[in-house]
Structure 1
Amino acid sequence: MAGYLFGLMVVAAIVVYFLASARARAKQFGATGKTHSRPIYHGLNAAIWTGIPASIFLLLWLLGQNSIINMLVIGSYPGAELMTGPERNLLISEVRQVAAGNIFREPSPATLAAVEHFRSLQSLMQWAMVAVVAAAVAVGAFFGLRVVAHRFRARHSVERAVTWFMMFSSFVAIMTTLGIVASLLYEAGQFFARVPITEFLFGLRWEPQIALRADQVAGQGAFGMVPVLFGTFVISALAMAVAVPTGVLSAIYLTEYSGKRFRAVVKPLLEILAGIPTVVYGFFAVLTVAPLVRNLGQAIGIDAAPNSALAAGGVMGVMIIPFISSLSDDAFAAVPRAMREGAYALGATKGETIRRVLLPAALPGIVGGVLLALSRAIGETMIVVMAAGLIARMTLNPFDSVTTVTVQIVTLLIGDSEFDNPKTLAAFALGLVLFIITLGLNLIALRTVRRYREKY
Structure 2
Amino acid sequence: MSAQHRATATGTGRSLARSRPRYGEQAIKVVLMLAALVSVATTVGIVFALAEPTIEFFSEVSLAQFFGSTEWGPLFKPAHFGVWPIIVATLEITLIAIIVAVPLGLAAAIYLSEYASRRVRKIFKPVLEVLAGVPTVVFGFFALTLVTPLLQDVFPWLGLEPKNALSAGLLVGVMIIPIIASMSEDAMAAVPNGLREGSFALGASKMLTSVRVVVPAAFSGIVAAIILAISRAAGETMIVAIAAGFKSVFTLDPTQEMSTMAAFIAQAGSGDASTGSIAYKTIFAVGSLLFLMTFAMNWFSARMVQKYREVYD
TM-score for the superposition, normalised by structure 2: 0.85
Say whether the 8 Å CA contact 1:293–1:310 is kept in structure 2: no
Structure with bigger RCO (C-alpha 8 Å, 6+ apart): 2
Matched, 1:392 2:248: yes
Decide whether the 8 Å contact of 1:413 with 1:427 is kept in 2: yes
- Asked if 1:296 corresponds to 2:157, the answer is no
The separation in 1 between residues aligned to 2:116 and 2:29, in whole angstroms, is 44
Residue 425 of structure 1 corresponds to 281
Letter in structure 1 aligned against 2:86: V
Gaps of 5+ in 1: 1-152, 211-218
Please state if 1:189 is matched with 2:55.
yes
* 1:422 Cα deviation after fit: 2.0
Query: What's the CA shift for 1:161?
Result: 6.0
Q: Which residue of 1 aligns with 2:262?
A: 406
Pick closer, same or farther for the CA change 1:310–1:297 going to 2, 3 Å.
same
Give the count of matched residue pairs: 293
Task: Give distance in 2, aligned partners of 1:367 and 1:322.
Answer: 15
Deviation at 1:307, TM superposition (A): 0.7
**Cα distance between partner residues in 1 of 2:36 and 2:196:** 42
Alpha-carbon deviation of 1:185?
1.1
Does residue 266 (structure 1) correspond to residue 124 (structure 2)? The answer is yes
Identity %: 43
Residue ranges of structure 2 left out of the alignment (5+ in a row) = 1-19
CA distance in 1, matches of 2:38, 2:308: 31
Alignment of 1:364-379 (within 5 A): 364-379=220-235
Query: Deviation string for 1:312-339 (max 9, x for gaps)?
Result: 1111111110110011112222222222
Question: Counterparts of 1:432 and 1:266 in 2: how far apart (Å)?
Answer: 39
Q: Which residue of 2 aligns with 1:110?
A: none
The AA in structure 1 aligned to 2:169 is G
Deviation at 1:256, TM superposition (A): 1.5
8 Å CA contact retained: 2:75, 2:273: no
Distance apart, 1:349 and its partner CA: 2.1
1:168: how far off? Answer: 5.3
Alignment of 1:97-136 (within 5 A): none
Tell me the CA shift for residue 249 of structure 1.
Answer: 0.6
The structure with the larger Rg is: 1
- The SS at the match of 2:218 is helix
Deviations 1:144-168 (A, max 9, x none): xxxxxxxxx9973x66666656555
Aligned to 1:33: none
CA distance, structure 2, for counterparts of residue 173 and residue 200 of structure 1 = 31
Q: Distance in 2 between matches of 1:159 and 1:339?
A: 38
* CA RMSD, 1 decimal: 2.3
Instruction: Tell me what 1:347 maps to.
Output: 203
Q: Which residue pairs with 2:137 in the alignment?
A: 279
Shift in Å at residue 242 of structure 1? 0.9
Distance (Å, rounded) in 1 between the aligned partners of 2:29 and 2:148: 51
State the shift of 1:418 in Å: 2.0
Give the whole-Å Cα distance in 2 for the aligned partners of 1:231 and 1:417.
23
1:235 aligns with 93
TM-score by length of 1: 0.60
> Among residues 105, 111, 116, which one is paired with 1:247 in the alignment?
105
